[in-house]
Amino acid sequence: MACRICSGRLHRFADFGRQPISDAFVLPGDTGEEFSFDLAVGVCEDCTMVQLLNEVPRERMFHDGYPYLSSGSAVMREHFRSLADRLLATELAGPDPFVVELGCNDGTMLATIAAAGVRHLGVDPSGGVADLAAARGVRVRKDFFEAAVAADILAFEGPADVVYAANTLCHIPYLDSIMKGVATLLRPGGVFVFEDPYLGDILERASFDQIYDEHFYLFSATSVRETARRHGFELVDVERLPVHGGEVRYTLAARGARTPSPAVAELLAAEEAAALADPRTLRAFADRVAGIRDDLVDLLTGLRARGATVHGYGATAKSATVLNYCGIGPDLVPHICDSTPAKQGRLAPGSRIPVRGPEAFASPYPDYALLFAWNHAEEIMAKETAFRDAGGTWILYVPDVHLVRG
């Protein structure tokens, strides 16, 4: 297996077995076999990029029925509003600015840009969510962004001051084409800003559920800098973000165009000190994850034996890895509640656990709730205080299996 970035040799360090498409929620009457693939992860011995060993065809994941909505969390809505405000005040403060967002989804970020009357274009291949963006006044192009699409946008709209992507770049195996496209599309002096789950946080918290079909890459500053360098970009800023269980926002600019901030050298040094890309570090992570799986299955089996009820909370894409790797089905977790309309009334992929709306959580409350949306724990626990008041207990599995009394 060769690295998708540099063709270097990949060292496999973790394997989660056969997995379904994480966001392919199944209709209850659908008895057909689900698509599945081997979810295994490796690290490149040359450029240090951590990546999946198998690629799922993009059209199988991102299509008109893609259910994920960026607007599903109040914390994330605020996160994207403040990012948009910051871009408006800085990179987009010149005359007639233009910003392109890759993976704009339902337009949560670009809605603020559109409301400010600033020229923008969202690019997203998932038609259903792109329609929601258009309905709120965001200009959107339904396409997979790649080099040819970038050239087309440049021809029709002119160069961009900013290309932005959140939780999208790590979804795209063909980064080569993306980097070429962004290099074409940016004006001289423009910036490419993107934020994705951070390898450092994933290793520290053992958050193995960040590994699933859509998360093809687990970025670090070291691997991003090398990828950028190969395409004439320089990593000029990094910012750690608390959202989604720990992310980094990377800023790239044409080589020599901007002076890198001290944060870049600091994060690179911290990654070196933590030996993030060392196969031994990564194998230790895989060992910890196997322990979490055993602890979680033991806990759930024990609770079932005692007659306690356990429901899932948040039918996240991440939960597909947990459920299918641990072999958890409706016998241990009879349903999961989730606020996303397109997931409700369907079955979670692979595990076939029914998904219900959030109102089902209270009728009646289970004894325990397994929090698959642990990255939104604060927001969810604040909203569900009545569960705690009714004597309910949360189950979390990162950084280890533990109980939280609301």
Interaction between residue 200 and ligand TYD (CB under 6 A)? no
**Binding partner selected for residue 314 from ligand TYD, ligand SAH, Zn ion, none, CB under the kind-specific 5 to 8 Å limit:** ligand TYD
Among 145, 313, 325, 368, binds ligand SAH (CB under 6 A): 145
- Pick 123 or 380: Cβ nearer ligand TYD: 380
Nearest to 404 by CA among 383, 363, 12, 378: 378
Q: How far is the CB of 239 from ligand SAH (least distance, A)?
A: 15
Question: What does DSSP assign to residue 128?
Answer: H
Residues 273-332 binding ligand TYD (CB under 6 A) are 314-318
d(CA 212, CA 202): 13
Interaction between residue 208 and ligand TYD (CB under 6 A)? no
Interaction between residue 68 and ligand TYD (CB under 6 A)? yes
Interaction between residue 19 and ligand TYD (CB under 6 A)? no
Q: How far is the CB of 75 from ligand TYD (least distance, A)?
A: 7
Count CB-CB contacts under 10 A for residue 33: 6
**Binding partner selected for residue 6 from Zn ion, ligand TYD, ligand SAH, none, CB under the kind-specific 5 to 8 Å limit:** Zn ion
Question: What does DSSP assign to residue 120?
Answer: E
The vertex-269 CA angle with 268 and 271, nearest 5°, equals 65
Interaction between residue 10 and Zn ion (CB under 5 A)? no
Interaction between residue 383 and ligand TYD (CB under 6 A)? yes
Give DSSP secondary structure letters for 35-51: PEEEEEEEEETTT--EE
CB 218 within 8 A of CB 276: no
Question: Residues with Cβ < 8 Å from 240, sequence gap 6 or more?
Answer: 198, 246, 247, 248, 267
Among 19, 73, 105, 227, binds ligand TYD (CB under 6 A): 73
- Edge-to-edge order in the sheet of strand 10-20: 10-20, 36-44, 50-52, 217-218
CB 10 within 8 A of CB 2: yes
Q: How far is the CB of 178 from ligand TYD (least distance, A)?
A: 20
d(CA 253, CA 256): 8
**Binding partner selected for residue 145 from Zn ion, ligand SAH, ligand TYD, none, CB under the kind-specific 5 to 8 Å limit:** ligand SAH
Interaction between residue 207 and ligand TYD (CB under 6 A)? no
Nearest to 246 by CA among 99, 377, 68: 377
- Pick 215 or 225: Cβ nearer ligand TYD: 215
Q: And the tokens for 209?
A: 């559920």
* H-run or E-run covering 264: helix 262-273
d(CA 122, CA 237): 23
Question: What does DSSP assign to residue 198?
Answer: B
| SS3 label, residue 102 | strand
d(CA 42, CA 285): 12
Interaction between residue 103 and ligand SAH (CB under 6 A)? yes
Interaction between residue 397 and ligand SAH (CB under 6 A)? no
**Binding partner selected for residue 44 from Zn ion, ligand SAH, ligand TYD, none, CB under the kind-specific 5 to 8 Å limit:** Zn ion
Q: How far is the CB of 123 from ligand SAH (least distance, A)?
A: 5
Interaction between residue 376 and ligand TYD (CB under 6 A)? yes
Q: How far is the CB of 74 from ligand TYD (least distance, A)?
A: 7
Question: What does DSSP assign to residue 26?
Answer: B
Q: How far is the CB of 21 from ligand SAH (least distance, A)?
A: 13
Interaction between residue 227 and ligand TYD (CB under 6 A)? no
Residues 26-65 binding ligand SAH (CB under 6 A) are 62
Q: How far is the CB of 327 from ligand SAH (least distance, A)?
A: 27
**Binding partner selected for residue 338 from ligand TYD, Zn ion, ligand SAH, none, CB under the kind-specific 5 to 8 Å limit:** ligand TYD
CA 246 to chain centre: 11
Residues 39-68 binding Zn ion (CB under 5 A) are 44, 46-47
Contacting positions for Zn ion (CB under 5 A): 3, 5-6, 8, 44, 46-47
User: Where along the sequence are the contacts to ligand TYD (CB under 6 A)?
Assistant: 68, 72-73, 314-318, 338-340, 358, 373, 375-376, 379-380, 383
